[in-house]
Amino acid sequence: MLAMLYQRTKQSLLAFLQEGSQHSADPSLQRKAVQLNIGVLMMQATVLAFTLFFFALGNEGLILSGLVQIPWSLATLVAVNRAQHAGHLNLARWFLMLGVMADAASALMLAQGLVIGIHFYYLLFAIVPTVFFPASRWRESLLQSVLNLGLFAFFEIHGWTPHPAMLNLGPETVHVLRVAMVISCVLIVAFLMIQAEYSAVKKEAELQLMASTDLLTQLPNLRAFRQNYSREVARARREDSPLIVGMLDVDHFKRINDVYGHPVGDHVLRLLAQVLSEQLRASDLVARVGGEEFALLMPQTELEQAQQICERLRITVSRHRFGTVSQPLAISISIGLARLEPGDDEERVLRAADKALYQAKNEGRNRVVLHRAGLA
């Protein structure tokens, strides 16, 4: 029961936080939408926490200042959520900013005056638009900052008469409340900054993965292969261990496209990628480096051992049915293998594996050919 309630609450909260991000394909706008929702939630949490605190202190003026904020914070919550739902991100930003300004103004003007220094919140609101608004909307962000700085300056210079009950607060209570307010400002800024940093790091990792993954097969792409290859070459030299490079190509793949169509060709490539990944060891790497061309990297492997593995791979692929039950489709692959020799440069090994593949094709395909040292 409790677990279910927890799950429901978690789902609703996540749905609330994501609201608005579904309208844009731009990751930075999606992030802004989420940040805005976090901002609204922080507003609710702050108002609620302070109102409870005020009730605990029992001062009439403070309680009034808490109660007058609640309608504003709830109205802001609803307005921002509705605007986000309808895809009006910018309107939602304005709702939040005007909501927090009105909220603070009502507490200040109807109850607290400047006894606690609530007008310092306007300094916070002068900074946060830079988080919620994208760089392209800097004019609106600047306008928000100027408005808030203006309000701060106005109250700082002119002051405001508080509710009489506020004058009954002892200097220590006022001190505690001021500290609590400063802490809440710092926490809000810190939380927004951490969230922005966290989502930027996450996005960078996703982009990194996308940049090194082949979209069709989800295997590492040529770029990732080159990076891994350079790393493995350096390791093999350092540890004086063997390294094998393989070039693998589907035989007569053009015919598959011609006879069955390009989508079936794509399907075959996807399935082949799966078969290759399953058959190879965890320490090996298979990457899609061209249309129907794959590259293999086998660290700490001798040529004969690599030959056995690739023979097994070749037979498995030739026995696998890549089409549908009604239309079984068989394919074969050719593989060229080369070993990194002492003093070799990286490119020579790749060329040697290519040469061996070329030879496999010339000798009739559906075979594994080793490039012997000294033939380059």
Ligand X SMILES: Nc1nc2c(ncn2[C@@H]2O[C@H](COP(=O)(O)OP(=O)(O)OP(=O)(O)O)[C@@H](O)[C@H]2O)c(=O)[nH]1
Q: Map residues 185-224 to x or -, x wherever contact with ligand X holds by CB under 6 A.
A: -------------------------------x--------
Residue with tokens 């978690």, as numbered in its chain: 10
Pick the stretch among 60-68, 122-130, 174-182, 247-255 that binds ligand X (CB under 6 A).
247-255
Q: How far is the CB of 226 from ligand X (least distance, A)?
A: 19
Indicate the residue among 266 and 363 with the shorter CB distance to ligand X: 266
Q: How far is the CB of 25 from ligand X (least distance, A)?
A: 24
Is there binding between residue 250 and ligand X (CB under 6 A)? yes
Contacting ligand X (CB under 6 A), which of 71, 87, 150, 291? Answer: 291
Report the Cα 297 to chain-centroid distance in Å.
29
Contacting ligand X (CB under 6 A), which of 254, 281, 321, 372? Answer: 254
Contacting ligand X (CB under 6 A), which of 266, 302, 311, 345? Answer: 266
Number of residues near ligand X (by CB under 6 A): 16
The b/e string for 178-194 (b: 16+ C-beta within 10 A; e otherwise) is eeebeebbeebeeebee
Indicate the residue among 19 and 214 with the shorter CB distance to ligand X: 214
Is there binding between residue 335 and ligand X (CB under 6 A)? no
Pick the stretch among 37-45, 218-226, 264-272, 296-304 that binds ligand X (CB under 6 A).
264-272
Is there binding between residue 312 and ligand X (CB under 6 A)? no
Indicate the residue among 71 and 291 with the shorter CB distance to ligand X: 291
The b/e string for 320-357 (b: 16+ C-beta within 10 A; e otherwise) is eebbeeeeebebebbbbbbbbeeebeeeebbbbbbbbb
List the structure tokens of 357. 């593949």
Is there binding between residue 361 and ligand X (CB under 6 A)? yes
* Beta-bridge mates of residue 244: 298, 339
Distances (CA, A) of 279 to 219, 239, 270, 368: 14, 26, 15, 16
Contacting ligand X (CB under 6 A), which of 175, 231, 262, 281? Answer: 262
List the structure tokens of 337. 């293998």
Instruction: Give first-to-last CA distance, the chain, whole Å.
Output: 71
Q: What is the DSSP string of 166-194?
A: GGGS-HHHHHHHHHHHHHHHHHHHHHHHH
Contacting ligand X (CB under 6 A), which of 269, 331, 338, 340? Answer: 269
Of all residues in the shown chain, the one whose CB is closest to ligand X is 291
Indicate the residue among 178 and 223 with the shorter CB distance to ligand X: 223
Pick the stretch among 97-105, 163-171, 245-253, 342-350 that binds ligand X (CB under 6 A).
245-253
Distances (CA, A) of 354 to 286, 350, 370: 15, 6, 10
Q: Alpha-carbon distance 183 to 121, whole Å?
A: 11
Contact 353, 247 (CB under 8 A): yes
User: What residues line the site for ligand X (CB under 6 A)?
Assistant: 216, 249-254, 257, 262, 265-266, 269, 291-292, 361, 365
